[in-house]
Structure 1
Amino acid sequence: MITKFPLPRVSLPGALLDQDLEEHASRVHAIRIDVSQNEREAPEHSHRKGQLVMPLRGGVTCRVPRGMWMVPPHCGVWVPAGMPHSNAATANARLFYLFIEPTAVEMPNRCCTLALSPLVRELIIELADRSEVAEVDGELITTLLLSALSKMPVEHLHLPLTGEPRLERIATALVKDPSDPSTVAQWAKRMALSENSLARLVQQETGLTFGRWRQQLQLIIAIRSLAAGAPVQQVSGDLGYESVSAFITMFKKALGVSPAKYLKDFDR
């Protein structure tokens, strides 16, 4: 079955404490985390440094006050310095955390998912896995990584969240049962609103139509489940699609490629 949100709020030992980060003098610091040997979620916290979370295997969901980002294996989620966030990983995830000094490179000033090139991924792995890197080599790797990372494109794997209580109720219900086929009119009736009022409320709060907002939630759940190893047939059924082909069509229309092509195997 699909892993539902929210996951239990437990600590992730691989998420470095702020004081540990402050003591690390380098512009860039990388660590490797094997989730099978740790807990699956880091509760809300923040860092003085910016953080990039990159799964080499499995997937990660990053949640900030007004949004949720999904991070499949060939991407990374960027969290600016000082932004409160929590990270939830699939049970099979193998992660890399990259911490960057705020003045080291120009990065987005908002949370976002970045598509990472093979070069960037390999440089992050190199920094994390080499405990004793010669000073000159380490500086060269860092300089090359920062230059390449600043050019990585932004992926659209974002679900806008809101504090509006009626939309929170709808989002919670859809997370619990993403296969719910209820129409806008049916949801509006449950929220004691007219259909037009609910449609306007979703647009005002999230910038999306109700249908697009729900589809983004389904995409995040689908990618997370696929990254955790669930077959396409199971994910399609759990999301309420009448056929696998209908799910694949939706996925390709939203992301440009099929689920199989999108989630390439980057396991090491």
Structure 2
Amino acid sequence: MIAKFHQFPISLALARDDDDIDKSTARLNAVRIDVSQNEREAPEHRHRKGQLVMPEHGGVTCRVPNGMWMVPPRCGVWVPGGMPHSNVATANARLFFLFIEPGAADLPERCCTLSLSPLVRELIIEMADHSEVATADAELITTLLLSALSRMPVEHLHLPLTAEPRLGRIASALVDDPSDRSTIEQWAKRMAMSENSLARLVQQETGLTFGRWRQQLQLIVAIRSLSAGATVQRVSADLGYESVSAFITMFKKALGASPAKYLRNFDR
């Protein structure tokens, strides 16, 4: 099927409101959304097609049944076709949605965050911003983009989630109040468990220690807030750190760069 560049009327919750794109048999469809003019949140839904969400500005958090992914600028979250998911964007976000026909590209079978090259980003923007493109040009861009996407590296901005009810309650509480610095012993008491039992449960369900699991959530919250324009000082305080330097040390150890340098890397 020859690719077509569509500009459908669209909102962040498009899958619930308009299924024209999902019915299309084109290998690729691309659209742009300015969140300031649309909903910031799309409740859980699914697409027949695979979906890549790429912020041009601001950030997006995508939640699926077994995890949560943060999508800062210069990355994209990949959601395979048929997977239930919800998206929440920062108020300043400008987003691109790329819908990919099943089997059209060699992309992961699981949800993940991809680091996108400048070429891939520009091709997505070109597709979304030009509704009328010559057939030969459309097919060339489509083929190039599908090939390039399959080589994009995975970023580890993922919080494993689980259907286990006690861990679900802890995760919800930490999302609501990421500044909560309660120890694993204190959380265990709240869940009517021993500390060792909770530690084993987190490891079994998520593959991470309790401390690493909570830190991953804090990183997602931090990147989301920084992408929305919050200062490092504000984010540090919101996460309950006693000092900005302690927060920067944690961030740099986890992601290999200070918050300022990390975000600058995405602005290139």
TM-score w.r.t. the length of structure 2 is 0.92
1:21-170 matched pairs, under 5 angstroms = 21-170=21-170
State the match for 1:220 in structure 2: 220
Q: Describe how 1:189-228 pairs up with structure 2 within 5 A.
A: 189-228=189-228
What one-letter code is carried by the residue in structure 2 that aligns with 1:100? I
Task: After superposition, give the CA deviation of every residue in 1:220-249 in whole Å (9 maximum; x if it has no partner).
Answer: 111111111101100001101111111111
Residue 130 of structure 2 aligns with an amino acid whose one-letter code is: R
Query: Do 1:73 and 1:266's aligned partners in 2 also have CA atoms closer than 8 Å?
Result: yes
Q: Give the whole-Å Cα distance in 2 for the aligned partners of 1:136 and 1:257.
A: 42
Q: Does the aligned pair in 2 maintain the 1:14–1:38 contact within 8 Å?
A: no
Return closer, same or farther for 1:266/1:200 CA change in 2, 3 Å cut-off: closer
Q: Secondary structure at the match of 1:220?
A: helix
Question: 1:135, CA displacement in angstroms?
Answer: 0.7
Give, in whole Å, the separation in 2 of the partners of 1:23 and 1:60: 25
- 2:219, 2:195 → 1: CA distance? 24
CA contact (8 A) 2:13 2:43 kept: no
Residue 183 (structure 1) shift: 0.9
**Deviation by residue 1:199-237 (Cα, 9 ceiling, x = unmatched):** 001111111100000001101111111111101100001
What amino acid maps onto 1:142 in structure 2?
A: T
Partner Cα separation in structure 2 for residue 126 and residue 266 of structure 1: 19
Measured at CA, do residues 110 and 18 of structure 1 come closer, stay the same or move farther in structure 2, by a change above 3 Å? Answer: farther
Amino acid at match of 1:215: Q
Distance in 2 between residues matched to 1:119 and 1:249, nearest whole Å:
32
Taking a change above 3 Å as real, the CA distance of residues 19 and 255 of structure 1, as seen in their structure-2 partners, is same
C-alpha distance in 1, partners of 2:266/2:38?
20
What count of residue pairs does the alignment treat as equivalent?
Answer: 257
The separation in 1 between residues aligned to 2:236 and 2:104, in whole angstroms, is 43
Give, in whole Å, the separation in 2 of the partners of 1:179 and 1:248. Answer: 15
Helix, strand or coil: the match of 1:131?
A: coil
Moved more, 83-92 or 15-24: 15-24
Separation in 1 of the partners of 2:84 and 2:173?
25
Q: Quote the RMSD (CA, aligned, Å).
A: 1.6
After TM superposition, give the deviation of residue 72 of structure 1 in Å.
0.2
State the SS of the aligned residue for 2:144: helix
**Higher mean C-alpha displacement, 242-251 vs 205-214:** 242-251
Instruction: Give the whole-Å Cα distance in 1 for the aligned partners of 2:87 and 2:57.
Output: 15
Match of 2:181 in 1: 181
Indicate if the aligned counterparts of 1:78 and 1:114 stay in contact, CA closer than 8 A: yes
Structure-2 separation of matches of 1:25 and 1:201: 44
Contact persistence 1:47–1:81 (CA under 8 A): yes
Stretches of structure 1 that go unaligned for 5 or more consecutive residues are 1-10
Distance 2:69 2:239 in 1: 19
Contact 1:73–1:264 at 8 Å: present in 2 too? Answer: no
Displacement after TM superposition at 1:163 (Å): 1.5
Q: Answer whether contact 1:56 1:266 (CA < 8 A) is retained.
A: no
Tell me how far 1:15 sits from its aligned partner.
Answer: 4.9
Deviation at 1:23, TM superposition (A): 3.7
Q: Which structure carries more relative contact order (alpha carbon 8 Å, separation 6+)?
A: 1
CA deviation digits over 1:28-86, x for unaligned, max 9?
A: 11000000000101111111111000001000000001110000001000000111111
1:154-209 CA-partner distances (Å, limit 9, x unpaired): 01011011121211121122112211111111111111111101100111111110
Which consecutive residues of structure 2, in runs of 5 or more, have no partner in the other structure? Answer: 1-10
